[in-house]
Structure 1
C-alpha cells in the first residue's frame, strides 16, 4: 500500500489556510487543473457541439473539486487522483448544484443583466453551506433547505467567510474573463481563464474540506485517512522512528538493526530511510550508504519519485565521484530528468556512466544522443560529441534512431 499523507486534525486553521493555496498545485491536483484547462478548448467546436462539450468539462471540474472536498474532509493531505473513489451521491449532487448556479447566471446575463451581481453575491454566500452539507449529509433536500444553511454557517462561525471570499473571487474571475476574452487571443484567453477558475474551485472545496475535517466529530464523521494509515502500519513506523531516535545516542548499532529489520519487510517512508542514512553516516559506513542509495533510488523510481531519487544520487556522488545507478533503466531515467532540469554536469556524468556500463543496451543510442547534445553545448567538447555520434551511427545501423543520429551529426557539423 502506498504511503498515505494524513493531515493533522489539530493543525491551526491559519496554517492549513496558508498551505491550502498550494494544494491545487501539488501532485495530481496540478496535473488535473492543467488537463481540465486544456480540455476547455473543446468549447471552440462549432455551434451546440462546443456548448455541450463545455458543459461536460465544467461538470468534470466540479466533480473533481467535490472529490477534493470529500478527500480533504476524510483527512487526506494531498489531492486525490482523478479516478479515486468517492461518494457518488455527494459528488454528483455538488456537480448538479453548480451547473444549476451557472445556468442561473447565464439567464441573468442574457435576460436580466442587473440581477447578475446580486445573484453572484447570493450564491457566494450560500454555496459553501450547500456544498458542505452535501459532503457530510449526502442529502440534496437537506442541502437546499435555508434552515440548514443557518445551521451550517453557525457551526463554522467566522471561518465560514473563507470559502465565501473564494467563491466571490471565483465569480469575479468569471466576470473579468468575459471582458478579457475579448481583449486577448481566444486561444490564449480560454486556457488561462479555465486554469484560474479550476484552481479557485479546487482551492475553495479543499478549504471547505479542511473546515469539515477539523470539526468532524460535530458532524458525526470518522475520517478515513488515519484508519487506512493505521492499517498500513504508518503509526507503527512513527513509533519505530521515535524508538530509533531514543536509542541512537546510546547504541547506534542496535538502532540501525531496528531500521534494517523494518525496511526488509515492506516499502518504508522517507523518514525511515533518512534516519537509516544518518546512522550509517555516524558510523562511517561509506559502502553501506552507497548500497542503500542504490536500493532507495530503485524504490523511489518505482513510486514515481524521480526527483527525490536524483537527490539521493547527488548525495552518493558526493561520497564516490564514479557512482551511478546499478540498473540501466534507473540510470537512463535520471539522466533524462537531470537534463530536463538543466543539471548538465550530473546528466553528462550519468550518460557517460551508462555508455560505459551498458554499451549494448537498447537505450544506448538515446543516451548517446543525449550525451552528444550536452557535450555540444561546450565548444571545447564538440569534437567529443562528434566522435560519439560517429560511433553510435556505425554501431547501431538498424536501430530506429539511426537516421536521427545522422541528422544530429549533420547539424553538429554545420555548427561553427
Structure 2
C-alpha cells in the first residue's frame, strides 16, 4: 500500500466546490481530505517519460578538452555554500563550493568507495583553489561520505549535510545510506588569501530509511543499489518551513505498479509494462526540520515517485522562480526502467507549491542531456538560484575521438526557465558560480 497518494480529480473538485449556507465551510470529512492533500505524492509516469528527442535547446555543448581543477584528485558531485534562504553565500568576498573527491591513487570506478568531501574557494567564482578536507575523516560518519549540501547561518556557522555511506570499520564495503550533518566555521586569511575551516562540531545522523515511506536496504529488489542519500537543505519562501530533500526509493517488500505509475487510461490500453519494471522505484524524499538548530527531522511522504520509471532520482533540489517551484533531479540512462530510454542528464518538474502535482518540464521532464555522440560527457547537474547549472566532467570524447576521464568541473550551463519550458543558452567557465543578487 502506498501512502500519501494524489487526490483523485473527483476529490479535488469536491474540495473546491462544496459551499454551505453562510459561506465556505470545511466539514470534518473535507478537512481530512485537505490534510491528505498536504502530503500528496506526485507521479512521474511511464507515459510522461517518453519521446526524448535531443536538440540544441536541451543538449549541453560539446567538451573537447578540460583543465583539471585539482590534478591529483578525482572531483565529481559539487555544490555551493548557500545562505539559509538558498542564495549563494560569500565569506569576506569568497565563494565556496564543496565536492566529492578521491585521490587519483584510486581508480575512476573505485573513487566512490573512497569519497571524501573537500572544499574549494574563489574570489571571482571561476578560478578555484582547493582547500582541504571539510572535516576530520576519523570523526565523520560512514566508511565514506557522499553528496549533500551546505548552508551558512547569519553568524557564520556552516551546516554541512552529507550522506553517511556504509559504516566505519566495516570489513567489506556496504551500501547502507543515512542522512547526516556536521557544523564548522569558515575563516579567511586576507594576508595569505586562503580559506580555512575551524570550530568543527559533532557529526550526527538526521534520518534513516523507515521502511514505510522509504525503502530500506533489506527491502531492495533488482540489481541497482537502493537510495537514501543526497540531503539538500531547503527553506520554503512561502511557508518559511525548513526541510531536507533527498533521493529515496518507494518502501515495501512487494513491488507493484498502480495505474497512475503507468499513465492515462488511453495510454494503458496499448502500453505493455516489461517484467522487472516494478523494481525501478525511485522517489524524491523530504523530511521537515523540527527545530531551528536542524538536529531533528521528521520523514514525510515523498514529493515525487517514479515507480516503474526510474530507479535513481539523484541529488534532488528545488528552485523557486516567479512563484513556481521547480524540482530538479539527475538520472542515468541505465536507471530507467525496462521499456524506457532516457539519456544521462538533468530532469525537472514544476508546481505552484512545494507539495502537489508536479508536471514534467518540456512535457517529459528532460532539461539538459549530453550530446548523442558523447552520452556520458557530464553528470551531477545542480541548478543555481539564477538558473545556471553546474556539473562535473564524467567520461568524454576528445577532439581525436578518444574517450577520456574527466573528474573535474564542467563548464557551467546557462539555462532559461519560463513556465514549464527550459532552454540551454550556452556555457560559462568551468565550475563558474555567479553570486545571488
TM range (shorter): under 0.3
Identify the structure with bigger relative contact order (alpha carbons < 8 Å, sequence gap 6+): 2
Specify which structure has the higher proportion of helix.
1
Tell me the TM-score normalized by structure 1. Answer: 0.23
Tell me the TM-score normalized by structure 2. Answer: 0.22
Specify which structure has the higher proportion of strand.
2
